[in-house]
Structure 1
Amino acid sequence: MKKFAFATFLLVALLLSPAFFDAAMAGSSLCDSKCAVRCSKAGRMDRCLQYCGICCEKCQCVPSGTYGHKDECPCYRDMKNSKGEPKCP
């Protein structure tokens, strides 16, 4: 009976794993495209894209435009670095 339960669990896990990876990849590409817009006018685009990506993954949102509008995403607005300064561009 334990072998049957384990085999069933394994089969279900294998069937669900592609759906999980597709959802994770979709979120990443959404962050990439929103951060590309957000950082399009940044002086240090590589750094802007890095921090924007971190903030987007955690908050699941990026404010519109290239600057400001942080009230659209309170999580993004309120993230701070180790010095207490805003982390998200």
Structure 2
Amino acid sequence: MDKVLVALAAAAAVGISAVATAWVQSRIGSAGAGALAEKPEVRGAIIVMLAIPETLVILGFVVAVLILTGG
């Protein structure tokens, strides 16, 4: 039973962070598309703003690995 709970906790760490990142990127993407239509020079800033939330998924993966390895 303990292994099931550990696996569930690891899956939740990755799953919740992935869903949160997808939600945030959908908001940033729609706002970025509107800003890009008016000011094409903000392209680089929009790409950076879309890349920053991806670190949340990476951190969720790191937490899942730590949960699974017991470290």
Give the TM-score, by structure 2 length: 0.49
Rg bigger for which structure? Answer: 1
Higher helix share: 2
With a CA cutoff of 8 Å and minimum separation of 6, indicate the structure with the bigger relative contact order.
2
TM-score (norm 1): 0.42
